[in-house]
Chains A and B, each alone.
Chain A
């Protein structure tokens, strides 16, 4: 529900604009984010996000790290979907080195990235429920996520920063009964999506708070460079996995959910549907997992030839890209990360205007940012 701000001619009632600080510490800002809101009563007239609290200077760090060492740093950009970060770095370096990863390695990468997509969207689902006031879906989402993290722990040894996808392939082949465990997890999670739909997606109170709130039009989304579920929620069907397939995605059949209105509910719905599509992709990948080597032959000291490459992929939050410039040595000359959350967050300045204070949390939650990626 937007409200028009009408300035009456004649005597202007000087009403003070109240400034409300949604501070760096707040239960709902999903990290250390500060938003300064200017309000006229209950309606917001302007907002200014203040970021940089989690800036760790990874682009500067990268100039002094070798290419495999950067993998460890890349985990920490979007820490909720570390597999995608690893993969995008490997794609960029493999482009520079003109390296071809064998089929098994590519399929394993896809399985891990899609499992991570489900885990990341589960966190979104749980925390968005808390923002709206439903405390229970959070625990269900994290119960599911625990199973995924158990799978990841078996395969890579870590629960959050996996460092599993390496340059030329993956860290190691799958352990013995991992495929069986993954399949049983997929069987377990499919009825849960039905539960979530009943609990939150079709809940009238939830719909009341998110339908028609924070509408992002197609033109604004394209102009602001928004990508990922936010863009698809506004009606633009653009998914890197379909439009510019990488790592063997063109062999899998899945659909790209597209929303209609661009409001918070559409963005939420796109992510729920994406989880279901990810389950399909993983099943197909497990069915057609090729045998053979999973790693390409990579020299011990990775020294890509001079040049520059830009690789991007569809991370759970949007189009994550790496622009990599190499000068022939073993350390990159310049690394620039194209962070989806950073670019998506810029729309906050515009879609909050005209909204009520009570909607700020709902809108901020629906953009689904991770501060590690916003600040790098």
Chain B
């Protein structure tokens, strides 16, 4: 299915999703910056509240059938251009084995105390990757079977991959 078909199918079911258009260079950008690049498959922005339904639909619909979660991660946008609020984007990259098509879903959340419904029961691959996002960014996933820190030691203060993370010296520092 092409990106257009996928998006129209998804939007019929869940009207709140928005497609993220291919980035254009701003009008007064200097020439040496070049053309912005993004992969050519479908990028969708989905609000937090309807993510659960959206994920379920993406996995279980016959024509979309995204049964493989390639990866999920999060991006911290602390410094944003004027007019926007700082946010964190949680990114899910989905792949369908049946139809061999991909799509990327970005879910903007607030930076403090954000919560997102967990997809660990839909794609088991999300289990550890959500723990990693929690460990590195502090985004909680409700409904996750075992939300503990995975890479850092239990009780580590702070969320390392945030842009405003400052390392607090602990007993492992010399």
Contacts and interface: CB of A to CB of B under 8 A. Distances in A.
In their complex, do chains A and B touch, with some C-beta pair under 8 Å? yes
B67 interface: yes
A57 B73 contact: no
B124 A346 contact: yes
A238 B69 CA distance: 15
A51 to B, nearest CB: 7
B125 A346 contact: yes
A253 to B, nearest CB: 21
Interface stretch (A82-90, A300-308, A356-364): A300-308
Contact of B161 (A60, A222, A243, A312): A60
Contacts of A309: 37-39
A150 B38 CA distance: 40
Given A306-B23, A307-B23, A375-B151, A346 B128 contact: yes
Nearest to A95: B37
B151 A225 contact: no
B3 interface: no
B37 A96 contact: yes
Contact of B37 (A51, A98, A303): A98
A55 B129 CA distance: 15
A338 interface: yes
A310 B39 contact: yes
A222 B71 contact: no
B34 interface: yes
Contact of A51 (B100, B104, B129, B151): B151
A51 B37 CA distance: 35
A321 B33 contact: no
Interface string B22-36: 010100000011111
Contacts of B127: 346
Contacts of A236: 97
B57 interface: no
B71 A238 contact: no
B124 A223 contact: yes
A223 B97 contact: no
B105 to A, nearest CB: 13
B33 A328 contact: yes
A142 interface: no
A113 to B, nearest CB: 21
A112 B167 CA distance: 39
A60 B125 contact: no
Nearest to B38: A307
Given A57-B160, A225-B123, A308 B38 contact: yes
A304 B37 contact: yes
Interface in B136-174: 136, 149-153, 160-161, 165
Interface string B80-111: 00000000000101000100100010000000
Contact of B33 (A225, A305, A312): A305
A91 interface: no
B75 interface: yes
A187 interface: no
A366 to B, nearest CB: 19
Given A334-B75, A346-B127, A225 B70 contact: yes
Nearest to B104: A310
Interface in A201-240: 220, 222-225, 236, 238
B97 A238 contact: yes
B35 to A, nearest CB: 6
Name the residue in B36, B39, B71, B97 with the highest tally of chain A Cβ atoms < 10 Å from its Cβ: B71
Contacts of B151: 51-52, 55, 375-376
Given A52-B151, A55-B151, A305 B34 contact: yes
A338 B71 contact: yes
Contact of B73 (A225, A323, A343, A375): A323
A360 to B, nearest CB: 19
Interface string B51-89: 000000000000000011111010110000000000000
Contact of A225 (B25, B36, B68): B68
Nearest to A349: B127
Contacts of B97: 222, 236, 238
Name the residue in A60, A308, A312 with the highest tally of chain B Cβ atoms < 10 Å from its Cβ: A308
Given A96-B37, A224-B124, A305-B36, 5 more contacts: A98-B37, A222-B97, A224-B125, A303-B33, A307-B38
23 contacts: A52-B150, A59-B136, A60-B161, A60-B165, A95-B37, A98-B37, A222-B67, A222-B97, A223-B125, A224-B125, A225-B123, A225-B125, A305-B34, A306-B23, A306-B25, A307-B38, A309-B39, A321-B70, A321-B71, A323-B91, A343-B71, A346-B124, A375-B151
